[in-house]
Amino acid sequence: MIIKEVLVQHRRDFNAILECDHCGKNQSLVNGYDDDYYHCNVIPAIKCESCGKSAGDNYKPVSTKYGAHEVI
């Protein structure tokens, strides 16, 4: 799954629309967290509701809106 669009972000919490990189279907992500761990480990492990697959080996995490050192 990849982030197609961030709908709402408040500090590090966000809601987004994810797109499956296998079948192209969209699904909602509620209560995402904008840090490196979440983008590198949690999002690629999310399984598509349509085809049941998670991110492929070519997954590239997006960068966070705020740096790890920033207090928001």
Spatial contact of 26 and 19, defined as CB atoms under 8 Å apart: yes
**pTM for the whole structure:** 0.87
Spatial contact of 2 and 18, defined as CB atoms under 8 Å apart: yes
Beta strands in 13-63 (DSSP E): 13-19, 26-33
> What's the confidence (pLDDT) of residue 69?
84
User: pLDDT tens string for the chain (72 positions)?
Assistant: 999 999 999 999 999 999 999 999 999 999 999 999 999 999 999 999 999 999 988 899 989 988 888 888
> What's the confidence (pLDDT) of residue 72?
80
> What's the confidence (pLDDT) of residue 56?
84
